Amino acid sequence: MTQQTAVVTGAGSGVGRAVAVELASAGWQLVLAGRRAGPLHGTAELAGPSAAVAVAVVPTDVTDAAAVNALFAAAVARFGRVDLLFNNAGTFGAPTPVEELEIDAWRAVVDLNLTGAFLCARAAFRQMKAQSPQGGRIINNGSISAHVPRPHSIAYTATKHAVTGLTKSLSLDGRPYRIACGQIDIGNAATDMTAAMSAGVRQADGRIAVEPTMDVADVARTVRHMAGLPLEANVQFATVMATAMPYIGRG
């Protein structure tokens, strides 16, 4: 493929880091975004040697509209265009019974998972619509929680359901401008965020149980496939999960 440019948010660790490294191996130029510069530079070191690609690090708070606009301005100034946004930044928040959840804790999850995703999608959409050749792709990171909740996760679950609406609206509104939008819903990829799975997490019946996980590289390969399609084709929704995790059936 002709070398293209991807913006990856939440790129300093976990799924974002794995996806950035995988995209670099496919020849994508990268713009890495996240709150902390140190982890982003760590991802850049992992991604840069994997291919003859250029990597830009842009520390960004995706809940800040001005910072998001600056992120995309920096991407265009460095590479000329944006072909892909992997809209990945997010947080689970502390598991809390709904009656005990403070409004500030609710807002922190909503601001990052939903408003942050919107701000990044809006900036990407504007650039993809304006550039020549026109178009690009947005891939939103949903979750298994975009389908079913875990106990004590009302803020996270609500935002991930909302991300599905964001994906559908972007997909529809992007049609006239060759902007494709899809979503990947991930279950139990082995990252720092899911480390508790090996010790046991609360189940729907109140038990604490260990859950299977999968290699985060399997998620990254799926995103790479979605990103590499021509804009005439789109994976609208993909679910990638640990095969035996409690999702299908009674578990």
Q: Please report the pLDDT score of residue 251 as a whole number.
A: 58
Domain layout of the chain by residue ranges: 5-241
Judge: domain 5-241, CATH 3.40.50.720.
yes
- Count the neighbouring beta carbons within 10 Å of the beta carbon of residue 245: 16
- Count the neighbouring beta carbons within 10 Å of the beta carbon of residue 59: 17
Mean pLDDT of the chain: 94
Stretch 195-200: mean pLDDT: 79
Stretch 75-81: mean pLDDT: 97
Tens-digit pLDDT profile for residues 11-55: 999 999 999 999 999 999 999 999 999 999 999 999 976 545 799
Q: Please report the pLDDT score of residue 249 as a whole number.
A: 72
Q: Please report the pLDDT score of residue 52 as a whole number.
A: 55
Q: Please report the pLDDT score of residue 97 as a whole number.
A: 96
Read off the tokens for 130: 């304006």
Tens-digit pLDDT profile for residues 124-133: 999 999 999 9
State the Cα–Cα distance between residues 108 and 91, nearest whole angstrom.
9
Residue 198 binned pLDDT confidence (cut-offs 50, 70, 90): confident
Answer whether 24's CB lies under 8 Å from 53's CB.
Answer: yes
Q: Please report the pLDDT score of residue 248 as a whole number.
A: 85
**Given the residues 156, 157, 162, 185, the one annotated as active site:** 156
Q: Please report the pLDDT score of residue 250 as a whole number.
A: 58
Tens-digit pLDDT profile for residues 140-163: 999 999 999 999 999 999 999 999
Stretch 179-194: mean pLDDT: 91
pLDDT exceeds cutoff 50 at 1: no
HEC sequence for the chain: CCCCEEEECCCCCHHHHHHHHHHHHCCCEEEEEECCHHHHHHHHHHHHHHCCCCEEEEECCCCCHHHHHHHHHHHHHHHCCCCEEEECCCCCCCCCCHHHCCHHHHHHHHHHHHHHHHHHHHHHHHHHHHCCCCCEEEEEECCHHHCCCCCCCHHHHHHHHHHHHHHHHHHHHHHHHCEEEEEEEEECECCHHHHHHHCCEECCCCCEECCCCECHHHHHHHHHHHHHCCCCCCCCEEEEECCCCCCCCCC
pLDDT above 90: percentage of residues in the chain: 85
Answer whether 30's CB lies under 8 Å from 24's CB.
Answer: yes
142: which residues sit within 8 A by CB, 6+ positions away? 160, 163, 164, 167, 183, 184, 185, 186, 237
Q: Please report the pLDDT score of residue 190 as a whole number.
A: 87
Residue whose entry in the numeric block shows the structure tokens 């991407």: 75
pLDDT exceeds cutoff 50 at 222: yes
Its pTM surpasses 0.85: yes
- Please indicate whether residue 247 is annotated as part of the active site: no
